[in-house]
Amino acid sequence: MTAMGEPVGVAVVGCGTISSAYLSNMMSFPDLRVLFCADLDIERAKAQAAKYGVAAAGPAAQALEHPGVELVVNLTVPAAHAETAGAAIAAGKSVWIEKPLALDTASGHRLLAEADEAGVRVGCAPDTVLGAGLQTARRVIDAGAIGVPQTALALMQNPGPERWHPDPEFLFQRGAGPLFDVGPYYLTALATLFGPAQQVAAVGRRGRGRRVIGSGPRAGTEFGVDVPTHVAALVGYAGGQAASLVLSFDSPLRRHGFLEVTGTEATLALPDPNNFDGDVRVAAASGDDWTPIPAEGTTAGRGLGVLDMARAMRGGVPHRATGEIALHVLEIMEAIERSISAGTFEPVRTTFAAPAPLAADWDPHARTLMA
Ligand SMILES: NC(=O)c1ccc[n+]([C@@H]2O[C@H](COP(=O)([O-])OP(=O)(O)OC[C@H]3O[C@@H](n4cnc5c(N)ncnc54)[C@H](O)[C@@H]3O)[C@@H](O)[C@H]2O)c1
């Protein structure tokens, strides 16, 4: 399918660790034109621009003045998301934001209201839900292969990202920890499959007060931990489904991407929701007898949500990884945090429109925008 219009002009704000994956993918999508790389650290922005063939680099304010930029891809650290996204919206740009949408639900609400007012769009990671693995899981469930979906079990355990991330402090501050850093992958996948949540309860603990950077030029540097590093949460959905999640940076044992959905007839093992591909398997009554179902769809990786948003902007249709879903996931995470502190069940009030599934042959490398 083609729509009228030029490729959508994009600026990347925040040229750190994850920007490489975005830039290499987005430069290969003909419907996007990456025009500018921005960062607080101008040298870092220039280096990424040079590496990926982006014409211009500089401070974020300059990116927002670029007349060709319609969509700002915000890859800053969580504490900067609301401010940097707010500036893009104020400049009349649509904005894609890495997860989490903001540090708190109130700031998230404000961002969406400002975007509404300005007539621009907000999209938010994770876009792994658009990948072959999770879209195949959705198709399998929608086709009735497990009966009526009823419960989910999610497990993510590892010793912590300070082992590999060269600047990991933000991953142990407000806006991160296993809940806010990794939780969005599981909670967004479950939101896509179950719809909106209604209530949560959780316990959490902070394994150690201080951690040590394990890689990069600052290896050996100690830093403080501000957030729970082990979270066990229960989520009740408006549709009656129940999910149990363990998200932990306190485990020598690594268990990544465990996500199962059990229905009235069978259980579906989903791929790691932090990935774009992976096996989907169905087991009937006996857990010993899993039937693999090949994943169908795109595995192109981070930036697919940006591309879907850009095509939707030109086509005048809703995009899939919306700010509303991200706000709902943010509210769930904030309610889980409140439950950990207060020892109570906490309500979740926001909701969202279910995103349309992607066709199995959706091609990010096709040119669909024609002048
Ligand atoms: N690293 C990963 O594997 C990964 C994976 C998925 C998502 N994410 C998400 O991507 C985001 C960035 O993570 P990262 O690991 O790349 O962090 P990072 O610290 O490596 O990079 C962040 C960059 O943003 C810049 N920055 C901060 N505030 C800014 C501001 N106000 N204006 C302009 N630039 C600013 C920093 O200078 C830095 O270069 C986070 O929201 C994170 O949750 C990271």
Q: What is the pLDDT of residue 1?
A: 55
- Do 92 and 142 reside in the same domain of the chain? no
Nearest alpha carbon, ligand 1 atom 21: 16
Q: Tell me which DSSP letter residue 161 carries.
A: G
Q: Name beta bridge partners: 244.
A: 153, 234
Q: What is the pLDDT of residues 229-278, one digit of tens each?
A: 999 999 999 999 999 999 999 999 999 999 999 999 999 999 999 999 99
pLDDT of residue 343: 97
Query: Are 163 and 272 within one domain?
Result: yes
Average pLDDT of the chain to the nearest whole number: 96
**The pLDDT value given to residue 279:** 83
Total structural domains in the chain? 2
Claim to verify: residue 115 and residue 59 sit in the same structural domain: yes
Ligand 1 nearest atom to the CA of residue 170, by list position? 19
Range of the structural domain that residue 210 is part of? 132-293
Model pTM score: 0.96
Residue at 331 is within a domain: no
Tell whether the model's pLDDT for residue 149 goes beyond 80.
yes
The rounded Å distance from CA 197 to ligand 1 centre is 28
Strands 149-157 and 222-224: unpaired
Residue with CA nearest ligand 1 atom 15: 17
Residue 251 forms part of a structural domain: yes
**Minimum CA distance residue for ligand 1 atom 33:** 39
Tell whether 151 is covered by a domain.
yes
CA atoms within 13 A on the CB side of 235: 34
- Is residue 279 assigned to a domain? yes
Nearest CA to ligand 1 atom 2: 18
Is 60 exceeded by the pLDDT of residue 13?
Answer: yes
Over residues 151-177, the mean pLDDT reads 96
Find the 88 Cα to ligand 1 centroid distance in Å. 16
For residue 370, name the pLDDT band (cuts at 50, 70, 90).
confident
Q: Would residue 313 count as lying in a domain?
A: yes
278: left (phi over 0), alpha (psi -120 to 50) or beta: left
360-369: pLDDT as tens digits? 999 999 999 9
* Domain shared by 177 and 274, yes or no: yes
Put the strands of the sheet holding 346-347 in their side by side order: 290-293, 280-283, 267-270, 255-263, 149-157, 242-248, 230-237, 197-205, 346-347
Query: Which residue minimizes the CA distance to atom 39 of ligand 1?
Result: 16
CATH code, 305: 3.40.50.720
Question: Atom of ligand 1 at shortest distance to CA of 125?
Answer: 7
123 and 148 housed in the same domain: no
| CA–CA separation, 180 and 292 (whole Å) | 31
For residue 177, the number of C-alpha atoms closer than 13 Å in the C-beta half-sphere is 26
150 and 287 in a common domain: yes
CA 203 / ligand 1 centre spacing (Å): 28
Residue 209 falls within a domain, yes or no?
A: yes
Q: Which residues line ligand 1 (CB under 6 A)?
A: 13-18, 38-41, 44, 60, 75-78, 80, 84, 98-99, 167, 181
Query: What's the CA-to-centroid distance between 16 and ligand 1, angstroms?
Result: 5
First to last CA, the chain: 14
pLDDT band at 286 (very low <50, low <70, confident <90, very high): low
pLDDT band at 349 (very low <50, low <70, confident <90, very high): very high
- CATH number, domain containing residue 215: 3.30.360.10
Same-domain check for residues 93 and 137: no
Residues 105 and 151 reside in one and the same domain: no
Paired tokens of 309: 């948003």
Q: Assess whether 206 and 263 both reside in one domain.
A: yes
Task: Provide mean pLDDT across the span 195-205.
Answer: 98
- 199-209: average pLDDT: 97
3-state secondary structure of 291: strand
| Ligand 1, atom 5, residue with closest C-alpha | 18
Average pLDDT over residues 180-207: 97
Q: 243 CA distance to ligand 1 centroid (A)?
A: 30
Report phi then psi at 253, rounded to 5: -75, 135
216 CA → ligand 1 middle, Å: 16
pLDDT tens digits, one per residue of 75-131: 999 999 999 999 999 999 999 999 999 999 999 999 999 999 999 999 999 999 999
- C-alpha gyration radius of the chain: 20
Q: Are residues 162 and 255 in the same domain?
A: yes
Structure confidence at residue 255 (pLDDT) = 94
For residue 266, report the distance from its CA to the centre of ligand 1, in Å: 40
How would DSSP label each residue in 199-265? Answer: EEEEEEE-S-SEEE--SSTTTT-EEE--S-SEEEEEEEETTS-EEEEEEES--SS-EEEEEEEEESS
Indicate which residue's Cα is closest to atom 40 of ligand 1.
Answer: 77
243 lies in some domain: yes
Q: What is the mean pLDDT of residues 196-212?
A: 97
Q: Which residue's C-alpha comes closest to atom 30 of ligand 1?
A: 40
The best mutation among 12, 17, 306 to test binding of ligand 1, ranked by most ligand atoms within 8 Å of the C-beta, falls on 17
98 and 178 assigned to the same domain: no
For the residues 311-316, what does the mean pLDDT come to? 97
288 pLDDT more than 90? no
Within-domain flag for 188: yes
263 and 174 co-located in one domain = yes
Which pLDDT does position 90 carry in this prediction?
98
Q: Whose CA is nearest to atom 44 of ligand 1?
A: 18
Q: In this structure, how many other beta carbons lie within 10 angstroms of the beta carbon of residue 65?
A: 12
The reported pLDDT for the residue numbered 329 is 98
